[in-house]
Structure 1
């Protein structure tokens, strides 16, 4: 069974939100078998940056990407999160 690489865009509630802390909190809450591969920021408007997380997850995961969006959205300082990309990793 292959893994998936999911690109998750996390929108902060404002420009004062520490995106490194948000990334750490999301990583702590990831289910077993999920792994943060890479993170970066992307400017969205008026000095506010979105957090882009690249997460490796099992292909046959219950809840799929909805669970990732839910986990990230529940972190303090996060307005919402959405999956903006996904690809299958072949081994």
Structure 2
């Protein structure tokens, strides 16, 4: 089984959400079989920033579903959206 890199956009519930704390909670929520790779903050609008998180997952069908479910349960997360999936370089 190969690995793919999935870029996931995580929107916080509020502009006041501490993104560093949210990032640490996201790292702790990574399910078995997936691996946290990197993250960055991306300005969206009106002071709101999203976390763009890259995780490595198996290249099986539905490989990001468990990650999406785990991230959506983290306190402070408004929404979770996979924006890109591809082979790592």
TM normalised by structure 1 equals 0.86
SS in 1 for 2:17: coil
Runs ≥4 in structure 1, deviation > 4 angstroms? Answer: none
Partner of 1:79: 78
Partner of 2:12: 12
**Aligned 8 A contact 2:31 2:66 in 1:** no
Give, in angstroms, the shift of residue 14 of structure 1: 1.1
Partner of 1:39: 39
* Structure 1: segments with no counterpart, 5+ residues: none
* Structure 2: segments with no counterpart, 5+ residues: none
TM normalised by structure 2 equals 0.88
Give the Cα separation in 1 of the matches to 2:70 and 2:33.
Answer: 15
How many equivalent residue pairs?
Answer: 89
